[in-house]
Each structure stands twice: as structure tokens, then as C-alpha cells.
Chain A
Amino acid sequence: MTTKALDLPEREYMLPGNRTCAGCGLSIAYRHILKALDGRAIMTIPASCLTVLGGMYPVSSVEVPVMNCTFPSTAATASGIVAGLKALGKEGITVVAMAGDGGTVDIGIQALSGAAERDTDLLYICYDNEAYMNTGVQRSSATPKGVRTATTPVQGKQTYKKDMPAIMEAHYLRYIATASPAFPEDLYDKVCKARTVVGTRYIHIHAPCPPGWFFPTKETVNVGRLAVETGAFPLYEIDHGTFRLTGRSKTLAARGELKPLHEYLTVQGRFKNVPRETLDELQQHVTERWQHYLERDKAGA
């Protein structure tokens, strides 16, 4: 049962006047994540855009407890919080480890894999703006192929975006999902559902970034929608082993076809000058993966 926008809680936990860029995709996502958590969470946040969103000492910009931690250790520090709360007999609080793509698929992958293998009772959220944005748009292993970044400035990234949800699937988790701030109700519902599951839960959130992806600040939601509608970022969940497409991806699977990938790529300056062969490759990649997801969705596995 999908929550409707007008039924979403009104209480805001993220306060205005923080340091995020105008039009930040992470900001939209974070607002709804915190609503879904009812503020009853402890956030563990590594060096990242989210650290900056949280504010500089001695002022915080969020009405939830936050523990900042070292870059590689988000899942490990959160594991310590989980263990500590358990030792102290404190219950009813969701421990959330929330890191960017760099802090998840690169430097944070070891701690995340360790925490997941131990089935640590925490919710891990990766907000994926597809590069090290906080430090100035350097490529990460979540950067899509072809993209120009500060460290792939001329030739663009030569290798594929790492499929992190698939890696998490190899850890036998009970709940894995992808979500987007372009579809806040779907995102909200997934966080609500993840809250109720015990063990390690993983949600991978697309976070369109105006300065890093080179699009005007007003286009964040449009870009996010196109990512889903072209199949660049499908929305799905793997709920106790059952794969299902959700939200817009689900309706696209049932009724329509994916929009051509170039509609998503051309609205972002970071894909400018990508050679024709790479664009074709990307389209093929997206098409094949979509087919694969359609089959999984049909089979429910």
C-alpha cells in the first residue's frame, strides 16, 4: 500500500538554512528518510556532503542524534552503536549508517560488508550522487561509464558503475532496495518497511547533484525522474528474497517501455562529449539489465 504524498508526516527533522547546495537531491531524500524514521534514529555519518548538511560545530541542522565518524568506518561505527545499545538494554531506536557513494562502494565497502555479514541490526543507506562530491567531484566506483569528473576530466570514466545492491545481495540480507528523491512516496515507504526488518537492511538512493552532474538547480527532480524512466536507475526492492520492481519502474514494466537513455544523458553536462560507442554501450547495458529485472520481477525471485 503506497503512502500518498498528502499523507506523509508534516513534521520536519531537517531544518532550513543548512549548507547543502541549492537544488540538492540528497536534501530531498534526507527530509523524507527522517520523516520515515519518525526521528527515532541515531544517524552515523562519515565525511561527506551529509556531514556538511549536518552543520559545523557548535550548531546542528537536524533534529535527530548524529554521530559523525571516520570516512571508512560508517558501518563499523554504527555496529559499535548497535552493540552498545544492546549491551545497555536500550531498544526502539533505529541505528542508521548513511554514507555517500564514495563512503559506501569505495572506502566504506569493507566495513559495510563486515557489518552485513554479521547481520548487524542496522539500516544502511547509501546516497549515490555518483562521485566524491563533497571534495569536488572526483570519480568514485559508482560513477557511470563515460562521465567527466575532476579526476576523469578528458576521457571520462572508462569503467562501469559498480552494482552495489547486487553486492549486498550476496550477503543474504532480508531487505535491499533502490530509491530516488524524485519519487519520495516510494522512498518513504521503503524506509518505513526497512525499519520493521531485523538485521542489516540496505537502501541505495540516487541523489542527483546539480553542480556535480552539470544541470541547472531547478532540474533535480526532472533528472531523477528521467533516471528511473530510462532505466538508468530502476526502482526495486528485494524483500526476503522476493525481487519486485516498485513505483514508477513497476508501472513502466506493466504498461510502457523505457524512454531512450539519451533523454536522461543529454540533460546533464557530465555526459557531454561521451563518444557514440560508449553511449550505445550504455543504452545496451541499461536495456539488458531492464530485461533481467523484468524476468526477476515476473519470477518474484
Chain B
Amino acid sequence: MASPSIGEAGLTGQWRTRRPVVNHDECVAAKAGRPVCMQCWLYCPEAVIKKSVPIEIDLEYCKGCGICMEVCRSGAIEMVPETDDKDTE
């Protein structure tokens, strides 16, 4: 029998080639100062987005799928390439 724990597959944030960057000046919730919209939280397949103001994304486990960027109604999320010295060799 196994008990539940975060990170069963390890630090899945390491899977990413792109990571989400939130522009809180554009985020509807940040501008309103209360938890509205929250489409990113609603749709995140990994449950790594916290329904807070401002929203928080757990980059240790975010797999970089980009769904949050797609569903964001105000274009406040951008997916930027991960830079990793090892990968640029």
C-alpha cells in the first residue's frame, strides 16, 4: 500500500522546455484585487496554479504545457524558453 505524496515522479518541472511567465499588470484577478477569472487555475492539468491574488505557479512541478497561456482571457501569460546551460552545449 502506498501513501500519497507530491512529486511522485520527481521534480517534473525539469521536464519543461518552456515556462509560464505571468504579467500581473494584465492579469484580470491581479487588476481586480480578487479571485476572478482564474481560467488558468481551472484548466491546469497539474494543479500547480494556486487560486490566489496574485496567482502563483509552482515551477518545481509545472511541466510547461502552455495551457494556461492558451486559456488566459487577457493574454497575461507567456511561455518563455527555459535556459539551461547543459542544453546549449
Do A and B touch (CB < 8 Å)?
yes
A28 at the B interface (CB under 8 A): yes
A61 at the B interface (CB under 8 A): yes
Give chain B residues whose Cβ lies under 8 Å from the Cβ of A59: 2-5, 8
* A19 with B8: CB separation less than 8 A: yes
A268 at the B interface (CB under 8 A): no
B65 at the A interface (CB under 8 A): yes
B36 at the A interface (CB under 8 A): yes
Complex: A178 Cα to B87 Cα, angstroms = 43
Give chain B residues whose Cβ lies under 8 Å from the Cβ of A5: 38-39, 42
Interface string of B51-67 (1 = CB under 8 A from A): 10000001011111111
Given contacts A17-B9, A217-B66, A218-B70, contact A57 B2 (CB under 8 A): yes
From B39, B51, B61, A16 is in contact (CB under 8 Å) with: B61
* A15 with B8: CB separation less than 8 A: yes
Q: Measured between C-beta atoms, what is the minimum distance from A212 to chain B in Å?
A: 15
* A221 with B70: CB separation less than 8 A: yes
CB closest residue in chain A, given B5: A59
CB closest residue in chain A, given B49: A16
* B67 with A23: CB separation less than 8 A: yes
B35 at the A interface (CB under 8 A): yes
Give chain A residues whose Cβ lies under 8 Å from the Cβ of B71: 221
Q: Measured between C-beta atoms, what is the minimum distance from B79 to chain A in Å?
A: 7
A134 at the B interface (CB under 8 A): no
* B65 with A16: CB separation less than 8 A: no
Chain B contact residues: helix, strand, loop or mixed: loop
B82 at the A interface (CB under 8 A): no
* B70 with A222: CB separation less than 8 A: yes
* A60 with B2: CB separation less than 8 A: yes
Given contacts A63-B4, A218-B70, contact A19 B9 (CB under 8 A): yes
Question: Interface residue tally of chain A, by bracket?
Answer: 35 or more
Q: List A16-32 residues whose CB lies under 8 Å from chain B.
A: 16-25, 27-28, 31
Complex: A222 Cα to B62 Cα, angstroms = 20
Complex: A220 Cα to B44 Cα, angstroms = 11
B48 at the A interface (CB under 8 A): yes
Give chain B residues whose Cβ lies under 8 Å from the Cβ of A21: 63
* B42 with A17: CB separation less than 8 A: no
A62 at the B interface (CB under 8 A): yes
* A17 with B12: CB separation less than 8 A: yes
CB closest residue in chain A, given B15: A22
A50 at the B interface (CB under 8 A): no
A198 at the B interface (CB under 8 A): no
Interface string of A44-69 (1 = CB under 8 A from B): 00000000000111111111000000
* A184 with B6: CB separation less than 8 A: no
* B9 with A220: CB separation less than 8 A: no
User: Which 3 interchain pairs have the tightest Cβ spacing?
Assistant: A218-B66, A17-B7, A27-B45
Given contacts A16-B7, A17-B12, 20 further A-B contacts (CB under 8 A): A14-B47, A15-B7, A15-B8, A16-B47, A16-B62, A17-B6, A17-B9, A19-B9, A22-B45, A28-B67, A31-B47, A55-B9, A58-B3, A59-B4, A60-B5, A61-B5, A61-B9, A217-B66, A221-B67, A221-B70
Return 26 A-B CB contacts under 8 Å, by A number.
A5-B42, A15-B4, A15-B7, A15-B47, A17-B9, A17-B10, A20-B46, A21-B63, A22-B15, A22-B16, A22-B45, A22-B64, A23-B67, A25-B45, A28-B67, A58-B2, A59-B4, A60-B5, A61-B8, A184-B42, A184-B43, A217-B63, A218-B65, A220-B45, A221-B67, A221-B70
